[in-house]
Structure 1
Amino acid sequence: MKRILVWQWGRRGGGPRFGLNIARAIARMPGCQVLLSLSRRAEVLQAPDFPDREVPLWPVETYGGFGGLIVRLLKAPVVIPGLVRTLRDWRPDLAICAMTGPLDLLMAVALYWRRVPFAVVVHDALPHPGDGFPFQHMLQNMLVRRADVVVALTQHVARQLGTLPGVDAREIVVASLPPFDYISHREQAEAPRSPGPLRLLMFGRLLAYKGIDLLVEALRALPETLEFELRIVGLGPETTELKQLAAMSQVTVENRWVPEEQIAALVTWADVMVLPYREASQSGVGAVALAAGRQILATRVGGLAEQFAGEQGVTLCAPDAADLALALEALIARGPDAPLKAMASPQLQWEMMVATLLADIQAVHNLRPVARDTGAVVSAS
């Protein structure tokens, strides 16, 4: 019986849900037991699918803001022995960090004391502008250098990781990001769509690298006769571009955090998910749209083309306003199509991804260290 610890100590966003999906897939694998460690403050704990009978939970106190993070790090001499005690009692054979965060080095130390190998799933090898706490990627790089196995979700991220000092000689396992299925997606997707023009949605953190400026320029280039509805929903600084979008007649800007229980209804409202990004590792929002059977319009940057390869209803364009405008115009002029069939359940895709991932982690962990100039990539997609 293989015992696997999965931890993800984020409070909000897709990280805790990603960790939960990995843990659920492991729990369904023959010969495996799993323990999931989440922050006591994780929003996913309030979701309708909790408590989860499939996955035993190890809640850990984390922090409520940057000041709380500093306090928690200062308490490391107290926190780490507590982690060691739980590891000693549960005796994992392997640990997986599902998505990195500022406190993960505390777990890494505890795992080192208990001689438990661990893998780190890296979602973003390089920081996006305005993303995360100060020094968060420095802490991530420290964690990655201490990990026994490094996992990327796209070849794009794997190549970026291969350029980092201390990681450039490591074997990097490349997994995939299966579709995210939020509660009630299937039921809501089957509901009849009310009449009206094409509904476009840009959803997620409203930061500069998401291409908000490209979207402004593209919308200005559209013919005035086109009818559509565009909602831009997410949390970000009040920028000039957001104010320009809010002033447009067919656009609504909702600058707010979207609780997990509202995501299904928001995505189901849309006909097309718009991802006008200037850079991207992969897209959790895109994974949610795929599970819900929504069309996707995305720029061909980073790992997006790789993530959406072979998927139905995906339109890719160049990361410039002119090409984005042409793609938008074509979609709007065509109007609402019959919705794509929502995936019956992405559960099987998660199980396949995790089974391959665990096999590749085992293979890489048993390899001898490679020479410093021969970094390799192992596919787990």
Structure 2
Amino acid sequence: MKSAIWYWGTGGAGSRVMMRIADRLADAYGASQTALLMHGDSDFLDAARGSGHPVFTVGGAAGHRAKAALLLAAPWRAVQLVRALVRHRPRIVIIPMNFALACPLALLVRGLGIRLIYLVHDAEPHSGDFAPKYQRMTQRWLIGQARSVVAMSHNVAARVRELHPGLRAGQIDVVPLHMLARAPRCDGRPNPDGPLRFLFMGRLLRYKGLDLLAQALSRMSQHTDWRLTIAGDGPERGQVLAWFGTMPQVDLTRLRPFEEAEIEDLIDSHDIMICPYRDASQSGSVAEALYAGMPSLVTPSGGLAEQIGHGAAGWIAPSATPEAIAATIEDCLEHRDGYAARSASTAAFARAELAINVWPDILAKAAS
């Protein structure tokens, strides 16, 4: 089954998901059967070229801030897309995340008689997302072009069905984000020595609830046996500095874009991933934590509870409020002797989820 994965972003969740799907398809068919259509500035380009997959790249503008440059590049990008598809001749093209020029260039894929699979990360834009009307329009169009749609959680799938009632029965599959890797990296961690180390990792955006976390921590002045690192960059960087800057137990030295290679080091040097999201579909940070036997503390927003096995791989705050988040953190601190058991449960949950490779069935259904 020849396929191609097409994503012209330069990094982030789209690129990471692209590589993870490529790994799963390589397990089933061999790397040479799946081409990667990438941007030449992708953080994963070296890994892609070393993996045995055919790689086709484009250069130049990338990202939603380069609208004019992308429009000018569209004709040449269209030529490059067609050339790559003609050379590799896939039966299926997978779009692992919406990106600039996927709409309308996916018409070229359809025009060559190739079936499309589109992955939906979020059924709707999050609060504070850029260009929400444009995101809704292009995603609706891509879903309409796709032979099959893959949602990253059952929560997302249910909302997609509500928003797109014209989808056929069986047209949506669910592949949770954490089911994309090959195997967990460990079987669990021991109880931590010293303060319990929490990690927030990712883009600093309003929907991720860092203001809620700051308010929660301000209620915990009587506790000194915790630390928090906030790693990442984004529009709320200034607010994060203001919210957490006077808290001595919070490390803000990682408020910057970080390299892909830093993710494992961050996770391995902390104990609990914390996701105080006010609204969510699922979290890439939780997925990365699962692979390392790292439990997560999440709110009940969107598919987060589902993503940690409804508590098997972490803790779920009763609500996305400062009071509930603070109470859940305090529970982690007061029952820290149970951390090793929770970590072992996290690793077991990840292993069970990854036991079956669902991608051959998804591709076969799309090709039929």
Is the shorter-chain TM-score for this pair beyond 0.5, marking a shared fold?
A: yes
Corresponding residue for residue 354 of structure 2 = 349
Identity %: 32
Provide the secondary structure at the position in 1 that maps to 2:315.
strand
Corresponding residue for residue 216 of structure 1 = 214
Provide the secondary structure at the position in 2 that maps to 1:256.
coil
Corresponding residue for residue 335 of structure 2 = 334
Cα pair distance change 1:180/1:265, threshold 3 Å: farther
Shift, 1:328, TM fit: 0.3
Deviates more, 1:208-217 or 1:310-319: 310-319
2:91 alignment partner, one of 93, 96, 99: 93
Do the aligned residues in 2 keep the contact of 1:176 with 1:353 (CA within 8 Å)? no
Instruction: Give the alignment's TM-score, normalised by structure 1.
Output: 0.83
Q: Distance in 2 between matches of 1:67 and 1:127?
A: 17
1:126 alignment partner, one of 118, 124, 127: 124
Q: Distance in 2 between matches of 1:113 and 1:218?
A: 53
Provide the secondary structure at the position in 1 that maps to 2:2.
strand
Corresponding residue for residue 13 of structure 2 = 14
Provide the secondary structure at the position in 2 that maps to 1:352.
coil
Cα pair distance change 1:202/1:348, threshold 3 Å: closer
Q: Distance in 1 between matches of 2:232 and 2:182?
A: 17
The alignment status of 1:358 with 2:363, answered yes or no, reads: yes
Do the aligned residues in 2 keep the contact of 1:101 with 1:140 (CA within 8 Å)? no
Superposed, 1:199-238 pairs within 5 Å as 199-236=197-234, 237-238=236-237
Do the aligned residues in 2 keep the contact of 1:18 with 1:98 (CA within 8 Å)? yes
Superposed, 1:1-381 pairs within 5 Å as 2-30=1-29, 33-46=33-46, 49-61=47-59, 63-66=61-64, 68-132=66-130, 135-164=134-163, 167-170=164-167, 171-178=171-178, 186=185, 195-236=193-234, 237-253=236-252, 254-309=254-309, 312-317=312-317, 318-335=319-336, 337-338=339-340, 340-341=343-344, 349=354, 352-362=357-367, 366=368
Residues 79-101 of structure 1, C-alpha deviation per residue, up to 9 Å, x if partnerless? Answer: 21332222222211111111111
Q: Distance in 2 between matches of 1:15 and 1:65?
A: 12
Structure 2 residue ranges without an equivalent (≥5):
none
Q: Distance in 1 between matches of 2:358 and 2:203?
A: 27
Residues 43-65 of structure 1, C-alpha deviation per residue, up to 9 Å, x if partnerless? Answer: 1225xx45323322122225245
Cα pair distance change 1:343/1:335, threshold 3 Å: closer
Instruction: Give the alignment's TM-score, normalised by structure 2.
Output: 0.86
Deviates more, 1:23-32 or 1:339-348: 339-348
Residues 153-188 of structure 1, C-alpha deviation per residue, up to 9 Å, x if partnerless? Answer: 112112222233xx32103222222257699x948x
- Matched residues, number: 356
Q: Distance in 1 between matches of 2:55 and 2:353?
A: 22
Q: Distance in 1 between matches of 2:60 and 2:142?
A: 17
Q: Distance in 2 between matches of 1:360 and 1:299?
A: 35
Structure 1 residue ranges without an equivalent (≥5):
367-381
Cα pair distance change 1:241/1:24, threshold 3 Å: closer
Cα pair distance change 1:218/1:120, threshold 3 Å: same
Q: Distance in 1 between matches of 2:221 and 2:314?
A: 23
Computed over aligned residues only, the root mean square deviation of the Cα atoms, in angstroms, reads: 3.0
Deviates more, 1:120-129 or 1:136-145: 136-145
Do the aligned residues in 1 keep the contact of 2:191 with 2:336 (CA within 8 Å)? no
Q: Distance in 1 between matches of 2:267 and 2:248?
A: 22
Do the aligned residues in 1 keep the contact of 2:63 with 2:100 (CA within 8 Å)? no
Deviates more, 1:298-307 or 1:221-230: 221-230
Cα pair distance change 1:322/1:242, threshold 3 Å: same
Do the aligned residues in 2 keep the contact of 1:299 with 1:324 (CA within 8 Å)? yes
Provide the secondary structure at the position in 2 that maps to 1:255.
coil
Q: Distance in 2 between matches of 1:108 and 1:93?
A: 14
Provide the secondary structure at the position in 1 that maps to 2:90.
coil
Q: Distance in 2 between matches of 1:207 and 1:271?
A: 23
Provide the secondary structure at the position in 2 that maps to 1:29.
helix
Amino acid at match of 2:213: L
Do the aligned residues in 2 keep the contact of 1:226 with 1:332 (CA within 8 Å)? no
Provide the secondary structure at the position in 2 that maps to 1:224.
coil
Q: Give the structure with the larger helix fraction.
A: 2
Deviates more, 1:309-318 or 1:119-128: 309-318
Provide the secondary structure at the position in 2 that maps to 1:28.
helix
Cα pair distance change 1:96/1:179, threshold 3 Å: closer
Shift, 1:112, TM fit: 2.2
Do the aligned residues in 2 keep the contact of 1:181 with 1:346 (CA within 8 Å)? no
Q: Distance in 2 between matches of 1:57 and 1:312?
A: 38
Cα pair distance change 1:71/1:19, threshold 3 Å: same
Q: Distance in 2 between matches of 1:113 and 1:303?
A: 35
Residues 29-75 of structure 1, C-alpha deviation per residue, up to 9 Å, x if partnerless? Answer: 148821111111111225xx453233221222252454544222233
